[in-house]
Amino acid sequence: DVKVTQSSRYLVKRTGEKVFLECVQDMDHENMFWYRQDPGLGLRLIYFSYDVKMKEKGDIPEGYSVSREKKERFSLILESASTNQTSMYLCASSPARFHEKLLFGSGTQLSVL
Amino acid sequence: AQTVTQSQPEMSVQEAETVTLSCTYDTSENNYYLFWYKQPPSRQMILVIRQEAYKQQNATENRFSVNFQKAAKSFSLKISDSQLGDTAMYFCAFKDTNAGKSTFGDGTTLTVKP
């Protein structure tokens, strides 16, 4: 089965910590995305990438950065975690720049205490 | 910017009955895709059905069908013969054919009751 894998299902961090959320896809997809999911707010796009070493800001990039050193891996970085970043984080990928369908990972529930 | 609105935060339906989830969107684009994604309690988001805006025929996938009204910017999902496994959060999403990113609604939590 083709997959988008997020390294952690649950994560608990302290305020001020640097946090890395990892996402790996095994489908040779060009596009990768990080969404944040909060109750009543749906999915909001944080960052996305069309290619290695390329990144573009989504709708809510503040407080986040990303890294894509290899095609299969897209990392979301919280430089200094804050309590308002407690959320579900979903990684997704798609095979070409204008391809329509997203394939999702199973999410990382991050709690910042 | 595109917006997607799901006006029903929660819905319930009896097993074997039919339920319709609503979605409206706002865009100035003419060519785009619309989707319904399902997120069960396991959290794994999967695509249920998609519709290309240039197609007048409504998409159908087994028990799932859509009512796409382009002029009204409406895209509802009908689930027939509801099953307990349909219990999930359902997200409506929009994607411009010339853009890389998708815009999602806030979701509708559907509970199928035995």
Contact A64/B at CB under 8 A? no
- Closest residue, chain A, to B39 (C-alpha): A106
Distance CA A44, CA A6 (A): 18
Partners of residue B25 in chain A, C-beta under 8 Å: none
Nearest to A94 by CA among A38, A45, A61, A41: A45
CB contact under 8 A, B102 and A48: no
Contact A88/B at CB under 8 A? yes
Residues lower than pLDDT 70 in chain B: none
Contact A91/B at CB under 8 A? no
Helix (H, G, I), strand (E, B) or coil at A90: strand
pLDDT value of position B101: 82
Distance CA B79, CA B69 (A): 17
Distance CA B74, CA B50 (A): 14
Contact A90/B at CB under 8 A? yes
Q: What is the pLDDT of residues B35-66, one digit of tens each?
A: 999 999 888 899 999 999 998 899 999 999 99
Phi/psi zone of residue A11: left (φ > 0), alpha (ψ -120 to 50 degrees), beta? beta
Place of tokens 């959060």: B89
Q: Which of B6, B45, B103 sits opposite A104 (nearest CB)?
A: B45
Distance from CA of B95 to the nearest CA of A (A): 7
Distance CA B19, CA B2 (A): 26
pLDDT value of position A98: 61
In a 13 Å sphere around the CA of A62, the CA atoms on its Cβ side amount to 3
Q: What is the pLDDT of residues A79-104, one digit of tens each?
A: 999 999 999 999 999 887 666 688 99
pLDDT value of position B99: 73
Distance from CA of A46 to the nearest CA of B (A): 11
Place of tokens 């496994």: B85
On average, the pLDDT of chain B sits at 94
Place of tokens 């003419």: B30
Q: What is the pLDDT of residues A10-47, one digit of tens each?
A: 999 999 999 999 999 998 898 999 999 998 889 999 99
Neighbouring-strand partners of residue B24: B5, B74
